[in-house]
Amino acid sequence: MLAKASLAYFLTTTHLPIMAEKLETLEDLFQEQLKDLYSAENQLLKAMPSMASEAKDQRLMQSLELHRQETENQVTRLEQIAQERSIDLGGHTCKAMQGLIAEGMETLSEDATDEVKDAALIASAQRIEHYEIAGYGTAAHYAERLGYDTAASLLRQTLQEEQNTDTKLNDLAKSYINQKAM
Ligand SMILES: [Fe+2]
Ligand SMILES: [Fe+2]
């Protein structure tokens, strides 16, 4: 188990800000999770066009473009929930998404063949989808537990889109893109 002293040490050595507000209830945690998702989705919206433009395979490019459009709706859904529940979504940066995008861009900037680049693009995109699936699964469950039916249903819609995207990327990789990269 992580001792409290070592957690404080971790926070100071990694320069992560210690949260000013105390989280006392599942409601507090729900709001924090929504802020994290909102930051993650907005970072993605900015990064997705450059990631999609690196795709050489037509079906991969189309899947990424479709998911960019879905991501716009996902941002709107989070805003709808925030409005309904009077939550301020600003002032938080999802550091995990910053890292996932940075790592994806780093891989794409390497000198690689088109085929390997497409496979790498799927690897990065699936990491991102898995992160989102974890976040939305948790947030949707919190919303259900708190009795927020509209929020739960909106979060489940997004979760379904993330899962569909992950499945589509997995199918592309396994049906021919990884084979072409060999
Ligand atoms: Fe998303
Ligand atoms: Fe996604």
Domain that holds residue 80: 23-180
CA of 127, nearest ligand number: 2
Centre a 10 Å sphere on the Cβ of residue 177 and count the other Cβ atoms it contains.
Answer: 22
- In this prediction the pTM is 0.90
Instruction: Write out the chain's pLDDT in tens, 182 residues.
Output: 555 566 666 666 665 555 567 899 999 999 999 999 999 999 999 999 999 999 999 999 999 999 999 999 999 999 999 999 999 999 999 999 999 999 999 999 999 999 999 999 999 999 999 999 999 999 999 999 999 999 999 999 999 999 999 999 999 999 999 999 99
- Find the 74 Cα to ligand 2 centroid distance in Å: 9
Centre a 10 Å sphere on the Cβ of residue 168 and count the other Cβ atoms it contains.
Answer: 20
In a domain, 71, yes or no: yes
- Find the 109 Cα to ligand 2 centroid distance in Å: 21
- Find the 76 Cα to ligand 2 centroid distance in Å: 14
Q: Around ion ligand 2, which residues have CB less than 5 A away?
A: 132, 162
Q: Which two tokens stand for residue 142?
A: 């919190």
Q: Give the E-state strand segments of 9-108 in sequence order.
A: none
Contact between residue 136 and residue 162 where contact means Cβ atoms under 8 Å apart:
yes
Task: Tell which residue, 121, 126, 113, has the closest CA to residue 51.
Answer: 121
In a domain, 14, yes or no: no
In a domain, 163, yes or no: yes
Distance CA 22, CA 45 (A): 30
In a domain, 142, yes or no: yes
Task: Write the CA distances from 97 to 59, 120, 131, integer angstroms.
Answer: 25, 17, 8
In a domain, 147, yes or no: yes
Q: Give the E-state strand segments of 13-115 in sequence order.
A: none
* CATH code, 45: 1.20.1260.10
In a domain, 173, yes or no: yes
Q: Which two tokens stand for residue 68?
A: 């960019």
- Find the 159 Cα to ligand 2 centroid distance in Å: 9
In a domain, 9, yes or no: no
- Find the 73 Cα to ligand 1 centroid distance in Å: 9
In a domain, 123, yes or no: yes
